[in-house]
Chains A and B, each alone.
Chain A
Amino acid sequence: MILSVRDLAVTRGGLAILEDVSFDLAAGEALVLRGPNGIGKTTLLRSVAGLQPPEQGTVAGAEDQIAYAAHSDGLKAMLSVTENLRFWASVFGLSDIEPALLAFDLTELRSRMAGTLSAGQKRRLGLARLMVTGRPIWVLDEPTVSLDAASVALFAEAVRTHLQQGGSALMATHIDLRLEEARVLDLTPFKAAPRTRQMDEAFL
């Protein structure tokens, strides 16, 4: 058991959106979060990644274990593909970026400026960043946005390799990655009940 989430409640813009979410993630496991837009997948992932403190509940095992990939890739347009990757590798105390370039088919683009890449290529570079963090838990928010079918296959392969090496992945995605080992957690039942607020609280 490397990640354990218990009775998590999260809020967005001060409104409770999810409550009593509990799940465990073991080494070699992948968990796919599903649910309609606005259900709170991103907020939940940000809470797990430690960016947003949960309203209630606990996230255990996340400390310094998580590589987080958000909607935006955190790339610098004026740095080349290798410079971007080297920076993140070195922030996480690693130096070898070749496997990541290979896995996401970026070797031919290596000296291009990140600003001149297409949206899909940028996304691939953003996902390649996960491989240079050396962290066991990948927390991915819509990782396949703007990827074509071939790139989605590359990404699924990278996740599979990561799982086989004892890592785990928690992701919010709408498309089927054909990962046999992935479990699916539908967040719809955890939607927070609308709360009737006290009068004075509403004016605070």
Chain B
Amino acid sequence: MRTLLIRDLMLAVRAGGGFGLGLAFFLIVTVLVPFGVGPQTELLSRIAPGILWIGALLACLLSLDRILALDWEDGSLDLLATAPLPMEGIVTIKALAHWITTGLPLVLAAPVLGVLLSLPIPAYQWVVISLAVGTPALSVIGTFGAALTVGIKRGGLLMSLLVLPLYVPTLIFGAEVARRGAEGLTVQTPLLLLAGISFGVMALLPFASAAVLRINLR
């Protein structure tokens, strides 16, 4: 299992890997939004938490089709399925590798890019916390979408359509934590719901992903 994680991380950082793709997209969104909205600091700081969350979500979505499609194309997925690793373990590791290469950099970059959006000072910690709690759910749900569409040529669009509705609850509660944090309100309820979504999908979806992957490999 650890070997698979190390291999995936190594492939991501080598030339042609997906590392930096999501981060670059996140950077582009947050740099361009102030230009589009105009020089109204007050308006910008009000929408900043939401923009950061949408940017992170779309950045995550962008790299989802790499999770399983590459292994499918070169045949490693068939070989992994016949290897002594449980399929549930394989998809969990794939989701973890995706989070480390996409979600984690987004969490770390968010406070830096918050400056560009004149994010209110009290919001910084809550943006980071909500992204840290919520992005694992994005990776796990995304792996499920990738497993559903593996083997479909250019299945990226179908996968986006399947995954986006599943992303909505995470986005709502994640952005709500950040918004309430920015306004100095209590964040307990949305944060608990966000954590609930994350832990729930982490516990259940790997089984679903493994099941659809087994069917798709037939």
Assembled-state Cα–Cα distance A92/B3 (Å): 10
- The answer to whether the Cβ of B112 comes within 8 Å of any Cβ in the partner chain is no
A70 & B75 in contact (Cβ 8 Å cutoff): yes
Nearest-CB residue, chain B, relative to A86: B3
- The answer to whether the Cβ of B154 comes within 8 Å of any Cβ in the partner chain is no
- The answer to whether the Cβ of A79 comes within 8 Å of any Cβ in the partner chain is yes
- The answer to whether the Cβ of B79 comes within 8 Å of any Cβ in the partner chain is yes
CB distance from A42 to the nearest CB of B (A): 11
- A–B complex contacts, Cβ < 8 Å, 7 sampled: A49-B82, A69-B79, A70-B79, A76-B76, A87-B4, A88-B79, A133-B83
Q: Which 4 residue pairs across A and B have the least CB separation, nearest first?
A: A72-B75, A74-B76, A90-B3, A74-B79
Q: A52-B218, A78-B14 are in contact. Are A68 and B3 (CB under 8 A)?
A: no
Beyond A51-B81, A72-B75, 20 additional contacts (C-beta under 8 Å) are: A66-B82, A67-B82, A68-B78, A70-B75, A73-B74, A74-B76, A74-B78, A74-B80, A76-B74, A77-B74, A78-B15, A78-B16, A78-B17, A87-B3, A91-B3, A91-B4, A91-B83, A92-B84, A93-B84, A133-B83
- The answer to whether the Cβ of A176 comes within 8 Å of any Cβ in the partner chain is no
Nearest-CB residue, chain B, relative to A69: B79
Assembled-state Cα–Cα distance A133/B84 (Å): 10
Assembled-state Cα–Cα distance A49/B81 (Å): 9
Residues of B within 8 A of A61 (CB): none
Assembled-state Cα–Cα distance A77/B11 (Å): 9
Assembled-state Cα–Cα distance A79/B8 (Å): 11
Q: A53-B218, A79-B7, A87-B7 are in contact. Are A74 and B75 (CB under 8 A)?
A: yes
Assembled-state Cα–Cα distance A133/B83 (Å): 9
Chain A residues within 8 Å of B, Cβ to Cβ: 46, 49-53, 64, 66-79, 83, 87-88, 90-93, 129, 133
Nearest-CB residue, chain B, relative to A11: B218
Assembled-state Cα–Cα distance A52/B216 (Å): 10
CB distance from A50 to the nearest CB of B (A): 6
A92 & B83 in contact (Cβ 8 Å cutoff): yes
Residues of A within 8 A of B14 (CB): 78-79
Assembled-state Cα–Cα distance A46/B79 (Å): 11
Q: A51-B217, A73-B75, A91-B3 are in contact. Are A78 and B82 (CB under 8 A)?
A: no
Assembled-state Cα–Cα distance A92/B81 (Å): 12
- The answer to whether the Cβ of B85 comes within 8 Å of any Cβ in the partner chain is yes
Residues of A within 8 A of B84 (CB): 64, 91-93
CB distance from A36 to the nearest CB of B (A): 23
CB distance from A65 to the nearest CB of B (A): 10
B10 & A74 in contact (Cβ 8 Å cutoff): no
Using a CB-CB cutoff of 8 Å, which residues 6-29 of chain B contact chain A? 7, 10-11, 14-17
Q: A76-B74, A79-B10 are in contact. Are A68 and B15 (CB under 8 A)?
A: no
